[in-house]
Chains A and B, each alone.
Chain A
């Protein structure tokens, strides 16, 4: 990305306007339409996905829930027939007892305050608390559910998104070093687990070292990951 693709709030993005004259354009986060103008509402590099999707990849640490997001949450409390889960958003999210695989009214999942879960956002609305689920539409848990052991840390939302990107070289590069498990939440939390705590710690440092790498430099930084993990 060149520097000309960097937008500030209030900037008019005429390149999109030109494209919009010929075909439909999808404006993602950080871009707004004001009548026939396209204006950026956040600061950051302008991203484009073929054929017609645009968004601003701004640096952000506060998570705003959106339907379908995979998030890491910490159980805060049991409340009636829901658990309250902290996902780093403004409001505490809820997850129903029944939103786990093979859960019934009698067979409740055993979650306690302080447990960490990997869940999907089912509902995200400005007026009500976000709701999570740990099953897919077929009632299977897939990779969701309670995470045992390992370690988790917080990072910027961008880092989470970058790791989740298709063909992100980082996870593969780490895999060459050691076997590990990872759960990336788009709410800026990443859970990792390797065979030993020391390895886990190395992983944490390696992933955090990617924090300031842009999309362009990531390949280069991935080459140095071995060094980072040694320290």
Chain B
């Protein structure tokens, strides 16, 4: 893992590692954030449906969704399929071998796989046109354009936003004939979601017991272990990926989970708002598309801007399942941006202090119920936990199967969800 690259990468020298360790110990970060501060997230929607560019600090990814009609597999004749792929060719400091065989590509791909596919976030049966004959295959291609840490969150968020933005053409099936309608003939159809998962990444250092959220590349490379948690907007755990050599206790993971679930929820809200804003701009014939990345004629769709406007107006918290959110769309031409910015300082999201452990079950209880499971989390390099919504579990995932914890009972998942809601 160490120095496997031919070219130099930040965070790979001892100097940097030690320095980051000492800094975290003193609760400082290189870019002046606190341990539970996120970088601002910016979304730019393409002119076409299903194209999203996402920027987190200097990290930039582009997600693109396409679809095609094909024959279903014989095992699941009435379901479409979702394919996800991440490629990091765009990262200039990686050579050819690294972009294809590096562990981080595998990690990213498997994270997306588990977050979206194994958790069955899309309603695949809605992608069926004619059972055993024709189904939709949806592909999500995530391209990493620049890597400054936390590709995990960037990729999952971009993929989710792209899927939510995507619309497929309407089709009818009559007399064994498929008819595809163009956009002019019939309205395009958005994807049907069962739930909306996004991930949050934490870095854990040996020197400090406080995990650091949304790491930069330097912090990520210097970290002793990286924890990636995916939650959906119902605050249910979809993926947990904890690896590395730092002693990660059940406590730390639960604390991360608690904060992450809240962040994921507001992230999904942000994506909804961004989509609503995008629709509004399209209807008003205002400029949309990736050109905005350079032109910036319209105000940027950023997390801080949208979510802080929201906190001024209390929004009814009614978990909208439909794609088009019912949330009030914020006015994008806000002249008092400055005021909002200032207000933001006061209106921080409620973040549970890391040392606050009152919500944890009493230690005895932890021993009784959680320990066998959490032990695995501590020891295994990669632990997978999927809690699919709906009836199905992860099938055909031989790769992940061996890492999966041996038994998954309902009470387990209750344990997972209870403390975080």
Residues of A within 8 A of B (CB): 74, 76-77, 86, 88, 92, 112-116, 147, 149-152, 154, 191, 197-198, 200-201, 231
Query: What's the minimum C-beta distance from B13 to chain A, rounded to whole angstroms?
Result: 5
Can you show 14 pairs from A to B with CB atoms below 8 A apart? Answer: A74-B12, A74-B13, A76-B3, A113-B2, A113-B3, A115-B13, A116-B13, A116-B14, A147-B15, A151-B19, A197-B23, A198-B28, A201-B30, A231-B32
- Taking a contact as CB atoms under 8 Å apart, the answer to whether A74 and B8 are in contact is yes
Please tell me if the beta carbons of B15 and A150 are within 8 angstroms of each other in the complex.
Answer: yes
Bound-complex Cα distance A200 to B7 (A): 25
Number of chain B residues whose Cβ lies closer than 8 Å to a Cβ of chain A? 20
B residues at A contact (CB < 8 Å): 2-3, 6-8, 10, 12-19, 22-23, 26, 28, 30, 32
Known contacts A113-B2, A198-B26; A86/B8 CB under 8 A: yes
CB-defined contacts of A231 to chain B, threshold 8 Å? 32
A contact residues around B28 at 8 Å (CB):
197-198, 201
Q: Whole-angstrom distance between the alpha carbons of A191 and B19 in the complex?
A: 12
Q: Which residue of A lies closest to B21 (CB)?
A: A197
The answer to whether A197 touches B19, judged by C-beta atoms less than 8 angstroms apart, is yes
Considering the chains assembled together, what is the distance between the CA atoms of A149 and B23 in angstroms? 12
Across the interface, which residues of B come within 8 angstroms of A147, CB to CB? 15
> What distance in Å separates the Cβ of B91 from its nearest Cβ neighbour in chain A?
16
CB closest chain-A residue, reference B25: A197
Q: Which residues of the other chain, B, contact A77 by a CB distance below 8 angstroms? A: 3
Tell which of A74, A147, A198 has the most Cβ of chain B within 10 Å.
Answer: A74
When chains A and B are docked, how far (Å) is the Cα of A187 from the Cα of B11? 18
Task: Classify the secondary structure of A's interface with B.
Answer: mixed
Task: For A198, list chain B residues within 8 Å (CB).
Answer: 26, 28
User: Which residues of chain A have C-beta atoms less than 8 A from B19's C-beta?
Assistant: 149-151, 197, 200
A114 close to B32 (CB less than 8 A): no
- Residues of B contacting A76 with CB < 8 Å? 3
Q: Which residues of the other chain, B, contact A152 by a CB distance below 8 angstroms?
A: 13, 15-16
| B3 touching A115, Cβ below 8 Å | no
Residues from chain B with a CB closer than 8 A to the CB of A201 are: 23, 28, 30
CA distance A77 to B30 in the complex (A): 28
- A150 and B14 CA atoms in complex are apart in Å by 10
CB distance from A185 to the nearest CB of B (A): 12
B20 to chain A, nearest CB (A): 9
* Chain B hits for A150, CB < 8 A: 15, 19
Known: A88-B8, A197-B23, A198-B26. A151 touches B2 (CB 8 A): no
Closest Cβ–Cβ distance, residue A197 to chain B (whole Å): 5
Q: Which A residues touch B15, using CB under 8 A? A: 116, 147, 149-152, 191
Check A197 against B16 for contact (C-beta < 8 Å). Answer: no
A88 to B15, CA, bound (A): 16
In Å, the complex CA distance between A231 and B32 comes to: 8
A173–B19 Cα distance when bound, in Å, is 24
Q: How far is the CB of B203 from chain A (nearest CB, A)?
A: 17
Give the complex CA separation of A151 and B20 in angstroms: 9
Q: Which residues of chain B have C-beta atoms less than 8 A from A86's C-beta?
A: 7-8
Task: Find the A residue at minimum CB distance from B18.
Answer: A149
Closest to B15 in A: A116
CB-nearest residue of chain B to A92 = B6
Known contacts A197-B23, A197-B26, A198-B28: does B10 contact A154 (CB below 8 Å)? yes
Residues of B within 8 A of A200 (CB): 19
| Nearest chain B CB to A142 CB, angstrom units | 20
Cα separation A197 to B12 with both chains bound (whole Å): 18
Tell me which residues across on chain B come within 8 A of A151, comparing CB atoms.
15-16, 19
Complex Cα spacing A94 to B47, Å:
51
List residues of chain A with CB within 8 A of the CB of B23: 197, 201
Bound-complex Cα distance A200 to B18 (A): 13
User: Would B3 and A114 count as touching, CB distance under 8 A?
Assistant: yes
* Chain B residues with CB under 8 A of A113: 2-3
Which of chain A's residues have a CB closer than 8 A to the CB of B14?
112, 114-116
Q: Name the A residues within 8 Å of B30 (CB-CB).
A: 201
**Nearest CB in chain A to that of B23: its residue:** A197
Bound CA span A114–B23, Å: 19
> Using Cβ atoms and an 8 Å threshold, which residues of chain A touch B13?
74, 114-116, 152
**CA A151 – CA B29 in complex, angstroms?**
13
